[in-house]
Chain A
């Protein structure tokens, strides 16, 4: 039995300690927003926040998440839409949308650290793969977010 804190709620799950966090979220906690893409930490579709850091949940053992704050795409919005999700709609970023849960989680982590990221920052940190080719709009939306005023509380995440 593992105790995991996901999106502010404590869950007790009866899973193997080595089960990747991704599958605990998807198949045991009913949080399918986080996606499987490669299983080898290359594509980033499974990106979640663990204690505020972007983590590829397909290669993180569930047991490593015990005692940490885990946030998924479902837990990102507060009062409706998170500002990143709003920007993704505003700039019509996704196409098929499959990679964008991970893309949004990566962008949220990037902006929390670098409120005004450069193109080089974006290239270095936004390593999520998108087969549809939404990169230009991801970059544009991140720059637009960086240019827009953030509430005094800072980016919500």
Chain B
């Protein structure tokens, strides 16, 4: 099949850089010039140009995590093409629907991008390779088995003939795909497994318009939005007279729980928005705040009978007969994703009844569905153009609030493209927050200090209830709220995990490594137990892990890399933590010092990760660094407080991100043991908070049981 120009029309804005061919990024512009060169679609994933350039279609989103490049590497590996001729483009969500979801899942979260598509994208590459070889063999009238391929050049040795992929792509595309293909052993990888440069970086350093906020269409207008500050509240009254008269203002859009101003520039829209006199109905939520939320969680913990997420042995009896019982309560606050690019959606309801949407989305199909529903159109009449995400971290997957709003605003301006961009304040105050939660753990130790019973009570809002209300939860258990406890890696004969779902009115969502607060609770509490038992925290953990357990291997790897037993500079202390999640094992050692006035410095983080396979070691290391920074910001500074029903924080001055000066040295040890596919976007954040807090507890002599650390009088040195 040849890609016809009518399929999608593009204005190509990015130029390939001399030498370093990059992303075939086209800024989709419906009414503009046609796609230039015709390429052959060998299969849905692979286009080959007559001059041998290979375009690999990517279904998942790119938010800096490197999935786009890693997937292209996997396809190219099996295709056996010349990597320097490879570029990538996003598969069209509209075409995806029309072709019966041919590209599989477009959802990009849970560190799943590579690991849950690796099998079928590799097969697509291998299948195309076989078809290209078969086409060459047919042309030469020789058996395909006599042909070999190397970097896109097919050879028939005995007759000394060669053909390039570009020469046989059209013929290959007409062949029937092979029924079955054999995938390469990762040990033989030549493109995958290598630290190739990311395909999206060159455009990004040049400031190319790759993000949703950069979309510019002829005649496009801009919108700024004010949403009801109290969650659950509604618009009660509006006086827009002053705003309507302001320069550049085209329209005031009133919806149930927000008002938007449409103007000819974003600043003018936002200035007018500030002049609106809006009254909100807080729907009875106006007096909710930190205290009522804490009381709600405490009430959950106080219940004697709760749904059980795990029950092994007889925990109450074991606790009753334990030589020593240790109990602690931990908590953590709501946290916003705070992507650097605020939520943004451009929508254009065209005169022909077709809706085009440009947005930063972690799930293009969810964006399609939200847009179609908001517009009252069938999916076939909607296209979502996936832009590069200025950060995602879980904010842009499940919730598609910004898409619904963008389309609703565009509906008020039919025929005119409108770009809705949230201000930072809106973004900070209308998130889907990491749930605030509270956990009570009770441990029983025997006379030798061994952990024989662990009873955990968790009070936490349910992300599943908020974002997937249709899905049924077995026994009322949200897996994101109980993880790390209901799959405890340690051999503890008696375990009980109780879950109190307490939802409150603050929307919660998947915040990078959802449920990671449980590692903070668990791994800090294990340290408390080790101290109570008089044991080294590493040895204590190892004593509860079976030989050959991959947890054990990453723990040993990090301990060795960090030099756990070696002396530290005076005043420095180490902390350790261990985790499994998102398919991978991660262990971490943190080195910190705390001055007399609470000056905290995180000096060094060493992390070992076993993800089974590593497709691009450099982007995997980058993700480890990213997880350290994302996690440290939360440990040191961040929280979202609730007062009068709304989020208190409004921008980066009161929700500080980690700064350059606070960046520790990060050393990443990749220890892939093969045989499974784990993720990299999230696992390394799991042990971060507990490793750092365990070190801080040793430095200060005070157990850290609540975050962020600034509440303990600790400030960055």
Task: Indicate whether A122 sits within 8 Å of B267 (C-beta atoms), given known contacts A39-B423, A97-B204, A97-B388.
Answer: no
- B20 within 8 Å of A (CB atoms): yes
From residue 177 to 223 of chain B, which have CB atoms closer than 8 A to chain A?
A: 197-198, 200-202, 204-211, 213-214, 216, 222
Give Cα A43 to B209, complex, Å: 20
Which of B534-542, B548-556, B657-665, B703-711 binds A? B657-665
Contacts of B64 in A (CB 8 A): 94-97, 132
A97 proximity list for chain B (CB < 8 A): 64, 200-201, 204-205, 210, 388, 390
Query: Which residues of the partner chain B approach A43 to less than 8 Å between Cβ atoms?
Result: 340, 652, 657
> Could you show 22 A-B contacts with beta carbons less than 8 Å apart?
A16-B247, A19-B265, A28-B265, A32-B209, A35-B340, A38-B651, A40-B651, A40-B652, A42-B653, A81-B205, A85-B205, A93-B201, A93-B205, A94-B64, A95-B65, A97-B201, A98-B340, A127-B660, A131-B657, A133-B629, A135-B660, A136-B666
Chain B positions within 8 Å of A74 at CB level: 206-207
Residue of A28, A42, A73, A96 near B63 (CB, 8 A) is A96
**Which B61-81 residues have C-beta < 8 A from chain A?**
63-66
Closest 3 CB pairs of A and B: A33-B207, A133-B629, A95-B64
- A residues in contact with B211, CB < 8 Å: 35, 98
> CB-CB < 8 A to A95: which residues of B?
63-66, 622, 626
| B340-A96 in contact (CB<8A) | yes
**CB-CB contacts below 8 Å: B146-165 with A:** none
| Residue B628 CB within 8 A of the other chain | yes
A23 with B206: CB separation less than 8 A: no
A117 to B545, CA, bound (A): 47
CB distance from B151 to the nearest CB of A (A): 23
B654-683 residues with Cβ-Cβ distance < 8 A to A are 657-661, 663, 665-666
Which chain B residues in 199-251 approach chain A with CB under 8 Å? 200-202, 204-211, 213-214, 216, 222, 247
Partner of A92, one of B198, B214, B390, B657: B198
Report whether A130 and B657 are in contact in the complex, using a CB–CB cutoff of 8 Å: yes
**B424 surroundings in chain A (CB, below 8 A):** 36-40
Count of chain B residues near A, Cβ 8 A: 64
Restricting to A77-122, which residues have a CB under 8 Å from any CB of B?
77, 80-81, 85, 88-89, 92-101, 104, 122
Contact for B618 among A27, A89, A92, CB less than 8 A: A92
Q: By the criterion CB–CB under 8 Å, are B629 and A132 in contact?
A: yes
Which of these, A33, A42, A128, A134, contacts B208 with CB under 8 Å?
Answer: A33
What is the chain B residue whose CB lies nearest that of A22?
A: B267
The residue in B20, B206, B665 that gathers the most chain A C-beta atoms within 10 A of its C-beta is B206
Min CB gap A111→B, angstroms: 15
CB proximity of A14 to chain B, nearest CB, Å: 10
- CB of A131 within 8 A of CB of B267, answer no
With contacts A40-B653, A89-B20, A89-B201 taken as known, whether A138 is within 8 angstroms of B341 at the C-beta atoms is: no
B118 at the interface (CB under 8 A from A): no
Query: Interface residues, chain B, CB within 8 Å of chain A?
Result: 17-18, 20, 63-66, 197-198, 200-202, 204-211, 213-214, 216, 222, 247, 264-268, 338-342, 388-393, 421, 423-424, 618-619, 622, 625-630, 651-653, 657-661, 663, 665-666
Q: For the A-B complex with A94-B64, A94-B204 known, give 17 more contacts whose Cβ atoms are closer than 8 Å.
A: A26-B266, A27-B222, A27-B266, A32-B209, A35-B340, A38-B652, A42-B653, A80-B17, A92-B619, A95-B64, A98-B339, A101-B207, A122-B660, A123-B660, A133-B630, A136-B625, A139-B660
- B197 contact set on A, CB distance < 8 A: 89, 92
CA distance A153 to B86 in the complex (A): 36
Q: Does A54 have its Cβ within 8 Å of any Cβ on chain B?
A: no
Most buried by A among B213, B423, B657: B657
The residue in chain A whose Cβ has the minimal distance to the Cβ of B341 is A98
Residues in A with CB closer than 8 Å to B204 are: 94, 97, 100
Return chain B residues, CB-CB under 8 Å to A126: 660
Name B207's contact: one of A23, A73, A93 (CB within 8 Å): A73
Are A42 and B266 closer than 8 Å at their CB atoms?
A: no
- Provided the pairs A27-B222, A131-B339, A132-B626 are in contact, do residues A73 and B206 lie with their beta carbons within 8 angstroms? yes
Task: Flag whether A157 is at the interface (Cβ < 8 A).
Answer: no
Interchain CA distance A42-B654 in the complex, whole Å: 11
Cβ–Cβ contact B209 & A81, under 8 A: no
Chain B residues with Cβ below 8 Å from A81 are 17, 205-206
Chain A, range 1-34, C-beta contacts under 8 Å to B: 15-16, 19-20, 23, 26-28, 30, 32-34
- Residue A156 is within 8 A (CB to CB) of chain B in the complex: no
Q: Taking the nearest CB of chain A, how far is it from the CB of B433, in angstroms? A: 15
Nearest-CB residue, chain A, relative to B69:
A92
Q: What is the minimal beta-carbon distance from A23 to any residue of chain B, in angstroms?
A: 4
> CB distance B206 to A77 under 8 Å?
yes
Which of B247, B340, B628, B661 contacts A45, CB < 8 Å?
B340
Q: Is A144 an interface residue (CB 8 A)?
A: no
**Do residues A89 and B202 form an inter-chain contact, with CB atoms below 8 A?**
yes
* A73 contacts across to B, CB distance below 8 A: 206-207
Give A128's nearest chain B residue, CB to CB.
B660
A137 at the interface (CB under 8 A from B): yes
Contact A98 B391 (CB under 8 A): yes
The complex places the Cα of A129 from the Cα of B340 at a distance, in Å, of: 9
Residues B206 and A136 in contact, CB atoms below 8 Å apart = no
What is the minimal beta-carbon distance from A72 to any residue of chain B, in angstroms? 7
B423:A129 contact, CB within 8 angstroms: no
**Contact A34 B622, CB 8 Å, known A45-B340, A98-B391:** no
User: Given the interface contacts A43-B652, A81-B17, does A135 sit within 8 Å of B216 by beta carbon?
Assistant: no
Residue of A nearest to B419 (CB): A27
In the complex, the answer to whether A133 meets B208 with C-beta atoms within 8 Å is no
**Which residues of chain A are within 8 angstroms of B63 by Cβ–Cβ distance?**
95-96
Residues of B contacting A15 in the complex (Cβ-Cβ under 8 angstroms): 265
Q: Are B661 and A27 in contact (CB under 8 A)?
A: no
Using Cβ atoms and an 8 Å threshold, which residues of chain B touch A94? 64, 201, 204-205
In contact, A135 and B629 (Cβ under 8 angstroms): yes
Query: In whole angstroms, how far apart are the Cα atoms of A81 and B341 in the complex?
Result: 25
Q: How far is the CA of A60 from the CA of B205 in the complex (A)?
A: 23
Does the CB pair B391–A131 fall under 8 Å?
yes
Contacts of B622 in A (CB 8 A): 92, 95, 134, 137
Q: Which residues of A contact B198 (CB under 8 A)?
A: 92
Residues of A near B661 (CB, < 8 A) are 123-124
Contact yes or no, B658 A133, CB < 8 A: yes
- State how many angstroms separate the Cβ of A68 from the closest Cβ of chain B: 20
Q: Are A127 and B265 in contact (CB under 8 A)?
A: no
Within the complex, what minimum Cβ distance (angstroms) separates A89 from chain B? Answer: 6
Task: Give every chain B residue within 8 A of A28 (Cβ-Cβ).
Answer: 265
A77 CA to B241 CA in the complex, in Å? 46
Q: Which residues of B contact A39 (CB under 8 A)?
A: 423-424, 651
**Contact status A138-B20, CB under 8 Å:** no
Closest CB in chain B relative to A134 CB, distance in Å: 7
- B405 CB to closest chain A CB, in angstroms? 18
Q: State the Cβ distance, A141 to closest chain B Cβ, in Å.
A: 10
Closest partner residue, chain B, to A62 (CB atom): B267
Residues B653 and A133 in contact, CB atoms below 8 Å apart:
no
A96 to B202, CA, bound (A): 12
Shortest Cβ gap from A35 to chain B (Å)? 7
- What are the residues of chain B within 8 A of A77 when measuring CB–CB? 206
Which one of A101, A130, A132 has the greatest number of beta carbons of chain B within 10 Å? A132
Q: Shortest CB–CB separation between residue A8 and chain B, in angstroms?
A: 16
B631 nearest in chain A by CB position? A133
- Which chain B residue lies CB-closest to A74? B207
Point out the residues of chain A lying under 8 angstroms from B388, CB to CB.
Answer: 96-97
Q: How far is the CB of B292 from chain A (nearest CB, A)?
A: 30
